[in-house]
Structure 1
Amino acid sequence: MAQLRQTQSVENRHKLSNTLRNWLPILHSSLSDLGEAMSPFIDANPIIEISSGFEDSFEKLIPKKIGNSSVANTRTEQIEALTFVKKSLYDVLDEQIEAPLFPTPISQKIASFVVCNLDENGYYEGDSEEFCKNNAITIEEFEKVRLRFAHVEPVGVCAKNLLESFLFQLDSSDISDKVYPLAIKVIKDLENIYDYSNEAGFSEVMRVLTTFKNPPAIEYLEESAQVIPDLMIFFNDNDSIEVKLNDAFYPIINIDTSYSIEHDYVSQKIKEAKSLVDALDMRKATLYKVGLMIVEYQYEFFTGGAIMPLTLKTLADEFGHNPSTISRAIANKYIACDRGVYAMKEFFTTAIDEDVSNAAIKEFVIGVIKSENRKKPLSDMKLLELIQDKFKVQMVRRTIAKYRKQLNIAGSSERKKLYHLH
């Protein structure tokens, strides 16, 4: 009997190990990328068939009782809010700050600084010298890392100017090696571009140049990548709040049972398929629990209030995981509610003095702009200075610009024009 118990224990540990091995990449992927994350497991298993929930109409999946929160929306707005949300340029770049391009802590710190100091067109405008001084590195080391953005999507961003952006894009183009030197010369002398019209290969250079993005972040000024929320949070008729998984958009795994399980190969593949199903269920259970905890800690937000301070460590302690694991688990995950669609990471704020969140900073921005001099509206840099002075926290201009846009507040030059009209 003891031998039997020991054998069962080993089998259970083996099953759990397989499930966990499958679970991590499945947990870390976004809902829209889930099928791609599962493909290595599926491609290697002939008894698995998979279908996608994306074929269904999303409108049919929206709970009928949505709409009883303090923030009113029309039916159309609710449908739009609960279907897709646009990723920002910064979200897309943040996802790429990892190995192999940025494998070390310092390279990731440099890359994050670069991304945090982009203007709205995607050009880098940060104070490199100040950063290098504060981190005891040379400008050469900094630039070596920054130039790796030539290999990041969208190609051309994080360059210092148009010339460098075009050089980034040139290295990723399909231009021939023979014409490449001419393209370099043309890009460095764009003002006199037609002086090279008689050069052999000029037509190919022009063909390639017309495919370049100018400004490099133009696609994020016009239309952004779409993502799908993992969770929906809404109020029922009795004013109780409910957390619902967007599980209808999950890939559906079907195990073909027509094979004979007497063969060792088939038996092994069935075990692997079941482990994959278990891993998918673990993803759902984990994110559902995250949703419940977000509602518990951020209940005021869902009833119309502000997001309260909440650290990843708090959630990690509840789960018994490392904060870095939780950070990866909520990355690229979104929650749909009556107030719109929000990235999960937005519910985790860095508190200032233990009781002030970035929601307080946003309220401060609203207040100072309401009372600003209409003849000389406050720039983002001036807002940054005021915030740092009041809250005693270090931030970057890009964060202020992001907050301002989230609050639907125009830039200083636009506000000046609007004030003049009124």
Structure 2
Amino acid sequence: MKLRQSLQNKTKLSATLKSWLPILQSGLSDLEETLGEFTSENPYIEVQSKIETNLSSKIPKKSLERAPKNSLSEKIEALTIQEDSLYDILYEQIAPPLFPTATSQKIALKIIENLNEEGYFEGEIEKIALECESSSESCEKIRQRFSRLEPPGIGAKDVRESFLFQLDSSECDDELFSLVRELIEELEYHTRYKNHPRYVEAMRLIRSFKNPPAIDFFEKEPDIIPDLFVHDSSGQIEVRLNDAYYPTIVLDTARADKKHEYVKAKIKEAKDLIDALDMRKATLYKIGLMILEYQYDFFMGGEIRPMKLKDLAEEFNHAPSTISRAIASKYLECNRGIFSLKSFFSTAIDEETSNAAIKDYIADMVKNEERGKPLSDIKILQNVENKFGIKMVRRTITKYRKQLNIASSSERKKLYEISV
């Protein structure tokens, strides 16, 4: 009897999961939007936002009182400060006295149109000259005037010219200006000037330059809202769902004729949606418990162990692809930071070592290496083999280093010298 009931519950849950898979797949920040797609045509259900509530709790009451007395979202929106884009700021500066004529302004606007997202000029002066019925020399002179615009360095063709633009806008005496200009022109060989009494001061000024020049205008990463917390509570590590940001589904059928077929169908849809949301919570909570069990050493300060999607799939009796969708775009916060759930699933090098552990070890080695003598891939390979007691090949170390966005030993040496 119990077995039959268990199978019936399991079948019901599997059907619900299949029907509402997008709810399981959605990240916590997108969950409300996903739920809204299911509730838009159901008059008996309402999704109440907690993200908006949490946001509003951080806004001073006085500010809310001064805002327009309409919906809460409009009050929050009214308090949002709209930042000008890079192009807005540049357009405002295309005016006299720097660009006194209509032609010079037209050329300057064309230059702006040919800036890439980093703020470098990628256009063709000759083409702009043709479009603006001017000479290439005149167009180039106008581009050089960008050295006086904000942000400094904008409109340059490359890093070296961007530094020269930024030098022009800096405030330094003639001696330091001349030295910095020489260093920029021969940046790869700047150590030849080490004996100059103002060398350190000059390098400090160069390090203050923005590279790329439009770096302050790069699109900011959205805030990550973790689905799970793993924290030490009274000496015990526990897993907790981020209920503070979970939306609430409210079913209102007080005035509905529950005998009507349409009403019955909509109420069933609503209940299925609530079941799917509860299943999402239960599934992620169980995944969190299993990650804690498998990766306990990591949460205690150790390394990530090999863990496969198959390990979880067997526990849930689902295909690994379903588990993969369940952990996509989900994050876990612990005392070591915020991590994507996928980062806990790594390929095993052997039974006890994961490639993630090796990558962490490589990153830590490079971070603490001797700057005058950076570690070569061969030396890193030897250290990894000694540390983990395994055999690897150098090309694997090179692949991991590139995946970590770490330059080669010779390139790192040059970078270290520049940052003296």
The interval holding the TM-score normalised by the smaller chain is: 0.5 to 0.7
Q: Which residue of 1 aligns with 2:248?
A: 252
| SS state at 1:229 partner | coil
| SS state at 1:286 partner | helix
Q: How many angstroms apart in 2 are the aligned matches of 1:221 and 1:341?
A: 22
Q: Conserved in 1, the CA contact under 8 Å of 2:257 and 2:263?
A: yes
Q: Conserved in 1, the CA contact under 8 Å of 2:308 and 2:347?
A: yes
Q: Which residue of 2 aligns with 1:72?
A: none
Q: How many angstroms apart in 2 are the aligned matches of 1:414 and 1:267?
A: 68
Q: How many angstroms apart in 2 are the aligned matches of 1:288 and 1:307?
A: 20
- Show CA shifts across 1:248-301 (max 9, x none): 211111111121212110111000000000000000000000000000011111
Q: Which residue of 1 aligns with 2:129?
A: 195
Q: How many angstroms apart in 2 are the aligned matches of 1:266 and 1:311?
A: 45
Q: Which residue of 2 aligns with 1:45?
A: 42
- CA shift for structure 1 position 312: 1.3
Q: How many angstroms apart in 1 are the aligned matches of 2:272 and 2:293?
A: 31
Question: CA 1:263–1:314 in 2, change beyond 3 Å: closer, same or farther?
Answer: same
Q: State the one-letter code of the partner of 1:196.
A: L
Q: How many angstroms apart in 1 are the aligned matches of 2:395 and 2:314?
A: 27
Q: How many angstroms apart in 2 are the aligned matches of 1:318 and 1:50?
A: 31
Larger RCO, structure (CA 8 Å, separation 6 or more): 1
Q: Which residue of 1 aligns with 2:416?
A: 415
Q: Conserved in 1, the CA contact under 8 Å of 2:312 and 2:323?
A: yes
- CA shift for structure 1 position 34: 0.8
- Show CA shifts across 1:74-110 (max 9, x none): xxxxxxxxxxxxxxxxxxxxxxxxxxxxxxxxxxxxx
Q: How many angstroms apart in 2 are the aligned matches of 1:362 and 1:342?
A: 14
Question: CA 1:276–1:330 in 2, change beyond 3 Å: closer, same or farther?
Answer: same
Q: How many angstroms apart in 1 are the aligned matches of 2:11 and 2:351?
A: 43
Q: How does 1:3-402 map to 2 (within 5 A)?
A: 19-57=16-54, 190-198=124-132, 223-237=220-234, 239-257=235-253, 258-357=255-354, 358-367=356-365, 370-372=368-370, 374-375=371-372, 377=374, 391-392=392-393, 400=401
Q: How many angstroms apart in 2 are the aligned matches of 1:365 and 1:16?
A: 43
Q: State the one-letter code of the partner of 2:339.
A: Y
The TM-score, its normalising length taken from structure 1, stands at: 0.54
| SS state at 1:55 partner | helix
Question: CA 1:17–1:313 in 2, change beyond 3 Å: closer, same or farther?
Answer: closer
Question: CA 1:412–1:221 in 2, change beyond 3 Å: closer, same or farther?
Answer: farther
**What percentage of residue pairs aligned between the two structures are identical?**
47
Q: Conserved in 1, the CA contact under 8 Å of 2:381 and 2:392?
A: no
Q: Which residue of 1 aligns with 2:142?
A: none
Q: Which runs of 5+ in 2 are unaligned?
A: 59-113, 134-154, 156-210
Q: How many angstroms apart in 1 are the aligned matches of 2:24 and 2:303?
A: 28
| SS state at 1:226 partner | coil
Q: State the one-letter code of the partner of 2:223.
A: Q
Q: Conserved in 1, the CA contact under 8 Å of 2:231 and 2:334?
A: yes
| SS state at 2:332 partner | strand
- CA shift for structure 1 position 351: 1.1
Q: Conserved in 2, the CA contact under 8 Å of 1:361 and 1:387?
A: no
| SS state at 2:20 partner | helix
Question: CA 1:371–1:218 in 2, change beyond 3 Å: closer, same or farther?
Answer: closer
Q: How many angstroms apart in 2 are the aligned matches of 1:378 and 1:38?
A: 51
Q: Conserved in 1, the CA contact under 8 Å of 2:380 and 2:397?
A: no
Q: State the one-letter code of the partner of 2:30.
A: D
| SS state at 1:363 partner | helix
- CA shift for structure 1 position 55: 2.5
Q: State the one-letter code of the partner of 1:190.
A: E
Q: Conserved in 2, the CA contact under 8 Å of 1:381 and 1:397?
A: no
Q: How many angstroms apart in 2 are the aligned matches of 1:325 and 1:393?
A: 35
Q: Which residue of 2 aligns with 1:5?
A: none
Q: How many angstroms apart in 1 are the aligned matches of 2:128 and 2:368?
A: 51
- Show CA shifts across 1:106-152 (max 9, x none): xxxxxxxxxxxxxxxxxxxxxxxxxxxxxxxxxxxxxxxxxxxxxxx
Q: State the one-letter code of the partner of 1:294.
A: I
Q: Conserved in 1, the CA contact under 8 Å of 2:23 and 2:35?
A: yes
Q: Which residue of 1 aligns with 2:183?
A: none
Q: Which residue of 2 aligns with 1:137?
A: none
| SS state at 2:304 partner | coil
Q: How many angstroms apart in 2 are the aligned matches of 1:322 and 1:219?
A: 44
